[in-house]
Structure 1
């Protein structure tokens, strides 16, 4: 089947995670992605971020680190020196045929090569030029470099993550980068839709910090309405009780009690039908006000039971619960297998001959995602792609 973005050509001048996440998603949807890598540095920075997880067939480290593998399938790797006249001329020839350009240089960084949005949109008026940066193209901090950790700190998410009496805590993966990349993808798709109607390209400007603040969602909106700073609640929910992690006899589970009827069924499972009749716990508002008193009752009861028994018992009561799985357990689960959330791609010349990657969550009936090209070795497609854009064309 054809991909949803078949025929769309993407010039990817990004590196590390936010930009590559965006362009990998476009590639999974069928776009042809040309990943431009700097020969002076050996390519994308993440090729050299440990631990290197892929060996060649002689047992030596390759430039396919686990980090690089995570965001660079369905791409061609083209080694280009943007600081050279020849490199800049090649990029302009590629832009003439591209539908999308994605870059994550500091604002102004592309202008010194003559490859900024204004110049490229004059060169190709139908181009979608997407700039990803720490703080965006405008504002007092626009010139500052930005990283995921900065966005999580400056954008507020760290202040509400972690235990109530602990330090602010970042999320366990670079979630600001990842969501920014996906939001950039949304902007690009919307801009392509506009171009299909009008012929007009445009500049899509997205910042890690803006993106992170946008997904404060209800917590951010509540602050705007009340003026109160939200507190950290660890694994508990600030507005729903009980909706959190519990220690069990042999591990940990999470329980999500979304309404009062579910609370009745949760208590029935524990043999505590008296709790919903207690005025302190009758409604969710009451349970939120009396959270500590309720936990003093629930935590010992949950700690006395095995995790599997809790999940099975609550499933029977139509109350959502799950064992807290390790990454390995999650990816090996029957559900992950059924949903094809782990895919294998051939990589000739490596010790195993293949790599296993996280699948794409989109399941599309008419234009399914594709996994056509394994993450490339540095510069492996340079000759093939450069030959498509001759100087005398």
Structure 2
């Protein structure tokens, strides 16, 4: 099959995106990557908050800054940008008309924030009963915290993630640490996408749309995975262990002669091979370390013995030795090293897209690889309002004179 002639899996799905910053745009970018027509509605003159979250800025064809922030660029490819002032009655009317033509509506206003404009779920359902309306908030549509604003950093703390991240109490540098990317926002975008796709599948059977309610706090708690289960099943409150694993040993970073490496032993056979590679075969038959539960019990003793050996050679040598015996092992790369890695290069994880400014945008490829409807990189993240006329003339079939009038009234 000629992949250049294939269409996206979501070809024909129209998405009206009123979200800003990261969680909502992450979801809409994923839908756009999969072939949906995503129209990003932004405030006139200022647009998405993240457009101003720089430096760094994208350079144009002459090497000059364009004013497009790297942050904004990471989550807005394959979309069309339209500027509409939703505080203006004519702007509200435009959004309603667009919603009547859309399959999906995404927003991340505070709970009830769009009701004053007549753009809440009940109002838009009245004009399009098939609409999938996805709301992303910090704390959900109900509950005692529903009216609060929610940000990723705050939710990482409230949702338990920071209680698990950082050096163990009593060690140097101990204390809670947030994850180095806005991971709660990213995961919420992924969960939102799953919910939207499930709602679209149900609509195919029932003909009815529905409201999808996503809470950053709910997502963060759900993403605690085994750590939440450790508490719910075992009654143990998980604590910070640095880079160690609460249930598996050895499964952490180890010092080497020139830095650090990660050893991730998942079973007793791998532990035996690890010990042999380190020249510590006797540890594999030591009664303290025969099974994983015993290794967890004697964690401190075992780690000290292993690290005494790992410090004697450099990371590259250890990785080669561990790979030779089937023990998962690898370096701790910085971001530059990630994009220089031979495997990452072979997988095409970096993509270049031409930008309207005349330069190119380097972006991270979508990790979903589909054999029959692959992701297509159709367009770079748009300039503010780049497609306003195109969308209003196409989606709503307005005349050029009507668009000019709306612009003169500062609706656009």
Coarse TM-score class (shorter-chain normalised): over 0.9
The residue aligned with 2:318 is 310
Taking the TM superposition and a 5 Å limit, the aligned residue runs for 1:167-316 are 167-316=175-324
Aligned-residue offset at 1:390: 4.3
Comparing 220-229 and 267-276, the one that deviates more: 220-229
Deviation by residue 1:301-345 (Cα, 9 ceiling, x = unmatched) = 101111111111000100000111111111221211222211000
Report if the CA contact (8 A) 2:257-2:312 is conserved: yes
CA distance in 2, matches of 1:295, 1:226: 24
The residue aligned with 1:380 is 386
Report if the CA contact (8 A) 2:61-2:357 is conserved: yes
The residue aligned with 1:94 is 98
Aligned-residue offset at 1:76: 0.3
The residue aligned with 2:78 is 74
2:67 match: secondary structure: coil
Q: Which runs of 4+ in 1 moved over 6 A?
A: none
CA distance in 1, matches of 2:65, 2:18: 25
2:221 match: secondary structure: helix
Deviation by residue 1:150-202 (Cα, 9 ceiling, x = unmatched) = 11010001000111021111101000000000000000000000001110000
Aligned-residue offset at 1:370: 1.0
Alignment counterpart, residue 135 of structure 1, candidates 125, 132, 139:
139
Unmatched runs of 5 consecutive residues or more in structure 2: 1-5, 403-412
Aligned-residue offset at 1:348: 3.3
1:366 match: secondary structure: coil
Query: Are residues 1:27 and 2:29 paired?
Result: no
Aligned-residue offset at 1:63: 3.1
The residue aligned with 1:152 is 156
1:125 match: secondary structure: coil
Shift in alpha-carbon separation, 1:310–1:59, aligned structure 2, 3 A: closer
Query: Are residues 1:369 and 2:378 paired?
Result: no
Aligned-residue offset at 1:349: 2.4
Alignment counterpart, residue 359 of structure 1, candidates 355, 365, 381:
365
Deviation by residue 1:19-68 (Cα, 9 ceiling, x = unmatched) = 0000000000000000000015x100000001132133455432311100
Comparing 247-256 and 123-132, the one that deviates more: 247-256
CA distance in 1, matches of 2:308, 2:66: 50
1:130 match: secondary structure: strand
CA distance in 1, matches of 2:86, 2:341: 45
CA distance in 1, matches of 2:164, 2:83: 42
With structure 1 as the length reference, what TM-score do the two structures score? Answer: 0.97
Report if the CA contact (8 A) 1:130-1:203 is conserved: yes
The residue aligned with 1:11 is 16
CA distance in 2, matches of 1:348, 1:190: 35
Report if the CA contact (8 A) 1:264-1:273 is conserved: yes
1:62 match: secondary structure: strand
CA distance in 1, matches of 2:126, 2:355: 40
2:65 match: secondary structure: coil
